[in-house]
Amino acid sequence: MASKTVIVGSTVGLHARPASLVAQAAAEYDDDITLRLTDMDVDDAVDAGSSMMIMTLGAENGDEVIVESDNEEAVEAIAALIEKNLDE
């Protein structure tokens, strides 16, 4: 399984608009992609394809998020999005 830890770049964290953009990008892949905060158990990871589930993380600007999937390309793409300020 591919995994990458990134820092949330959006000034409002992974809330409405940023979560929606991440979920849309994740939906382009057939593989499961999960997100979790670094202090969360693996079993508590959420589906990156669901903006509602992403928002339940409560990830704020500067928080570390782990992106995981069997698809390394998907991990890199979603991680790159999370690092950006998607509020602009």
Determine contact, residues 59/14, Cβ cutoff 8 Å. Answer: yes
Beta bridge partners of 33: 69
Active site residues: 15
pLDDT digits (tens, 9 = 90+) for 46-81: 999 999 999 999 999 999 999 999 999 999 999 999
Residue 69 lies in a domain: yes
> Is 64 within 8 Å of 38 (Cβ atoms)?
yes
pTM (predicted TM-score)? 0.95
In this predicted structure, the answer to whether residue 82 has a pLDDT above a threshold of 90 is yes
C-alpha to C-alpha distance for 83 and 41, rounded to whole angstroms: 21
pLDDT tens digits for 7-44? 999 999 999 999 999 999 999 999 999 999 999 999 99
pLDDT at 87 (0 to 100)? 85
Look at residue 88 and tell me if it is in a domain: no
Count of structural domains within the chain: 1
The CATH number of the domain where 71 resides is what?
3.30.1340.10
